[in-house]
Structure 1
Amino acid sequence: MHTIHSSAACAVVLALLAACASSDADPAVGVEQSPLPTMQPVAVTAGDSARRADSAAPLPGDSAKPPAITVPSVRGRSKKDSLALVSAIRAGLKDTKWPVRGPTPLPGAILPSKRIVAYYGNPLSKRMGILGEIPSDQMLARLDREVAAWNKADPSTPVVPALHLIVVVAQGAPGRDGKYRLRMPDTLVEKVYSWAAQRNALLFLDIQVGHSNVQAEVPRLEQFLKRPNVHLGLDPEFSMKGGEKPGAKIGTLNASDVNWTVGYLSQLARTNNLPPKVLVVHRFTRKMLSGASDIRLDPRVQIVIDMDGWGAPWLKYDSYRDYVQREPVQFTGFKIFYHNDTKKGDPLLTAPEVLRLTPKPVYIQYQ
C-alpha cells in the first residue's frame, strides 16, 4: 500500500514520487507501481537443474505428463523463478483463446508484426522512471541498446522504439478542482515528442485520472493524438472510483471506460485518416480492470494489456499468467523495472526469458 504525504518540498517518501511541474503549480506526484500481490505458483516439480522442468507435474485437468519445457539459464535465477516461468509457458500453450480472434490489422497497424519497446516516466522526476532519470541523450542511447537486444532476441518481430510519458499525474492532494490529478503542460509533451523524433520513435501519453475520468482527460490530448505517431495509455491503479486518495489503495477501470476510450480513438483515426492507434492499459491485479471480457475490439485501435507490477521474476510470471494471459483482450505487454525488480538481488529479466511467455508480449515497457 502506498502512503501519501505532503510533497511541498518535492520529497520522495516511500513509494510516492513527487516532482515540481512548475514553481506556481500544484506539485506533480507520480507513484511507482505497487509490488505484485503475494501468491503461490502452480505446484510443479523439476529435476536438479532449475533450467529444465522435464519432470513438471501435470496442471489440474491434464490427463498426461506434459512435454518438457526449457527456459533460459540466467545466473542468479532461483528454481522458483524457473518453475513459475514453466507454469506460465504451459498455461499459455494450453489456452485455446490465444491468439485472440480480432479484426484484421489495417494498413499502418503496428501490432502484431512489430514489437514496441518503450521507456516510461516523466522528465520532471528522476524517480518516476527512466524517461526522466538521466539526461535525454543518455536515455535515448540506453533505449537504443534495449531495442538492439530485443531485435537480437526475436529478429522476426522488428522493434519500434517509444517514449511513454505520464501526462496526467495522480496527486496526494485534491488540487484546486478537487480531482487529485495534475495535467502536465503542453510544452512538456512537445519536449518529449522532440526526443522521440530523434529516434523516429512513438510517443505514448499516459493518464492517471485520480478523481477525474477518461471522458474528461482523453479529449484534452486530441491535438497530440491527431499525430500518427502518438498513442495512449490508461493506468487503472490511480483511478479512484471510490473517492480514496490515489495511492491509498489500488484503483480500477472497467470495460465501459476502455470501450469509451476505444470509441474516441477510433473516431479520431477515422476522421483524420490516421493509422490505427495503440491503447495500453496497465494491469497487475484482477480488480484493476473489471469486465475485461466485455471490452470491444475495433480495427482502428489496438489494445495492449500490460502486466506492470514489480517484484521477483516468479511473481511477475504468475501475474502475467493470472491477469493477462487468462483474461484475453487483444495483445499483451510486460513491464520491467530497472530498480524495483532488482532491489532484492534478482537479475533484471532478459528478452529471451520474457519471450518464452505465451502469448509473446508485443509491448515492452521499462521504468
Structure 2
Amino acid sequence: MKKYTLASLLSPFLFLFFSNCKQNEFNTEKTIAKDSVATKVTQVKKKAITAIDTADYNRRMIALSNKDTTGRWPVKTPYPLPGALLPYNRIIAFYGNLYSKRMGVLGEYPKAEMIEKLQGEVAKWKAADSTVNTIPALHYIAVSAQGAPGAANRYNMRMPFKQIDTLLNWAKPINALVFLDIQVGHSTVKEEVSQLVDYLALPNVHLGIDPEFSMKEGHVPGKKIGTFSADDINDAIDILAKIVREKKLAPKVLVIHRFTQGMVTNYKAIKKVPEVQIVMDMDGFGSQVLKRSTYLRYIFREPVQFTGFKLFYKNDNWNDWKMYTPEQLLQFTPKPIYIQYQ
C-alpha cells in the first residue's frame, strides 16, 4: 500500500496555489506594464499640452530683436505658458472711450465705421509683415483720470460695466481682443485693477496701465506727468498671474504706456513670469524724429520684454509731420509687436 505523506497530500494544492500565484504575478506585471505605458503616454500628452516649442519661440524673439548688436534684445525671461499671444501675433489696437470723441479713435467714430477702419489697419500690417499673425484689439479706457476729486477723492472715474459689456459684444464678430486701460489718478494700481478681476478672468480680456496719470505727490491729473515704480507694475502682474493660474488661462498681456524717463522707475525690478507678457508701449505724439528718439531712449535702452508703439491720427500728422507707416516701424530695433492708434 502506497504511503502518503503530508507533503504528498498537499503537493497538488501547492502546485495549484503556486501556479495561481505565478499567473497572478504575470497578470500583475502585465497590468503594471500597461499602466506604465499609459502613464508615459499621458505624460507625453501632458507635456505637449503644457509646454511651448522653445526653439520656435527663440527664433521669433530673435527676429523681433531685428539684428540688435547691443545684447539688450531679445530679453531673457521665463518662457510663457501655452497659448501665449506674443511673439506669435502682432496686436493692432484702437484706443479710446465711448463717452468721448476726443480721447481716441475708438469713441470718435460710429461703431461700424470704426471697426471697418480698424480692420483696414490690420490688413496693412498683415501685408507689411506676414511672418506673424495680425489680430485686432479694442483698447478701452475703463478708468479715466479726472481734474476733480469726485466723491471718493480718487481723481478718476470708473466707467460703468455696461460699457465694457458693449466692447465685448463689439469684439466678438471680428475676433478682437479687449484691453481695459487704467488711469489711477490718486488711487492705486492694486485698487483699480482689483475691481476689474471678473472681466480680466475672460480669456480675451487684457490690461493696460498708464503712469502718466498716477499722481503720487497729490497733483491734479493732467497738470504734471505721473509715475509708476516697479512695485506698482508688479501689483498688476501679481493680480493677472493669479487670475491665469486660478482660471487655467493662457498668459495675459499687460501694456504699460511710457514716453519719459520718470514715468517708469526701477524697470529692472519688474517681474517676468510665465503668466504675463509685458509690453512697454511708446506713447506720446510728435514728429517722426522725436518719436524715434523717445523709442530709443526709454524703450530700447530699458528693455523689459516686448515693445509697442502708439500712433496718433491727428497729432502725429499735425503741421508738416507724418505718421509712421507699418513698413517704417518694422525697421525699428526691436520691432514693436503691439501697435495702438488713437
Could you say whether these structures have the same fold, taking a TM-score greater than 0.5 normalized by the shorter chain as the test? yes
Task: State the match for 1:68 in structure 2.
Answer: none
- Contact conserved, 2:80 with 2:273, CA < 8 A, in 1? no
Task: State the match for 2:150 in structure 1.
Answer: 175
Instruction: State how 1:92-171 maps to structure 2 within 5 Å.
Output: 93-171=68-146
Task: State the match for 2:294 in structure 1.
Answer: 319
Shift of 1:347: 2.3
Task: State the match for 1:6 in structure 2.
Answer: none
Instruction: State how 1:325-364 maps to structure 2 within 5 Å.
Output: 325-364=300-339
- Contact conserved, 1:325 with 1:359, CA < 8 A, in 2? yes
Instruction: State how 1:198-217 maps to structure 2 within 5 Å.
Output: 198-217=173-192
Residue identity matched to 2:232: D
Shift of 1:106: 1.8
Task: State the match for 1:184 in structure 2.
Answer: 159
Instruction: State how 1:224-243 maps to structure 2 within 5 Å.
Output: 224-243=199-218
Using the aligned pairs only, state the percent identity: 52
Task: State the match for 1:10 in structure 2.
Answer: none
- Contact conserved, 1:92 with 1:357, CA < 8 A, in 2? no
Moved more, 202-211 or 337-346: 337-346
Shift of 1:344: 1.4
Task: State the match for 1:59 in structure 2.
Answer: none
The answer as to 2:194 corresponding to 1:219 is yes
Shift of 1:91: 11
Task: State the match for 1:302 in structure 2.
Answer: 277
TM-score (norm 2): 0.80
Shift of 1:349: 1.0
Instruction: Give the secondary-structure state (helix, strand or coil) at the position aligned to 1:137.
Output: helix
Q: Relative to 1, partners in 2 of residues 1:154 and 1:213: Cα closer, same or farther, differing over 3 Å?
A: same
- The alignment's C-alpha RMSD in Å is 1.4
Residue identity matched to 2:188: N
Instruction: Give the secondary-structure state (helix, strand or coil) at the position aligned to 1:94.
Output: coil
Q: Quick one: distance in 2 between partners of 1:365 and 1:174?
A: 29
Instruction: Give the secondary-structure state (helix, strand or coil) at the position aligned to 2:196.
Output: helix
Task: State the match for 1:288 in structure 2.
Answer: 263
Q: Quick one: distance in 1 between partners of 2:337 and 2:71?
A: 19
The answer as to 2:170 corresponding to 1:195 is yes
Instruction: Give the secondary-structure state (helix, strand or coil) at the position aligned to 1:115.
Output: strand
Residue identity matched to 2:98: P
Residue identity matched to 1:192: L
Task: State the match for 1:19 in structure 2.
Answer: none
Task: State the match for 2:241 in structure 1.
Answer: 266
Kindly provide the CA deviation profile for residues 326-351 of structure 1, in whole angstroms up to 9, marking residues without a partner as x.
Answer: 00000000000000101112222100
Instruction: Give the secondary-structure state (helix, strand or coil) at the position aligned to 2:136.
Output: strand
TM-score (norm 1): 0.75
Q: Quick one: distance in 2 between partners of 1:177 and 1:114?
A: 40
Kindly provide the CA deviation profile for residues 275-309 of structure 1, in whole angstroms up to 9, marking residues without a partner as x.
Answer: 10000000000100001111110000000000011
Structure with more of its chain in helix, by fraction: 2
Shift of 1:133: 0.4
Give the number of aligned pairs.
279
Residue identity matched to 1:162: A
Task: State the match for 1:86 in structure 2.
Answer: none
Instruction: Give the secondary-structure state (helix, strand or coil) at the position aligned to 1:140.
Output: helix
Larger Rg: 2
Q: Which has the higher contact order (CA 8 A, sep 6+)?
A: 1
Instruction: Give the secondary-structure state (helix, strand or coil) at the position aligned to 2:226.
Output: coil
Residue identity matched to 2:213: F
Shift of 1:92: 7.4
Q: Which runs of 5+ in 1 are unaligned?
A: 1-89
Q: Quick one: distance in 2 between partners of 1:133 and 1:220?
A: 27
Residue identity matched to 2:187: S
Instruction: State how 1:69-108 maps to structure 2 within 5 Å.
Output: 93-108=68-83
Q: Quick one: distance in 2 between partners of 1:296 and 1:347?
A: 36
The answer as to 2:234 corresponding to 1:254 is no
Residue identity matched to 1:105: P
- Contact conserved, 2:286 with 2:321, CA < 8 A, in 1? no
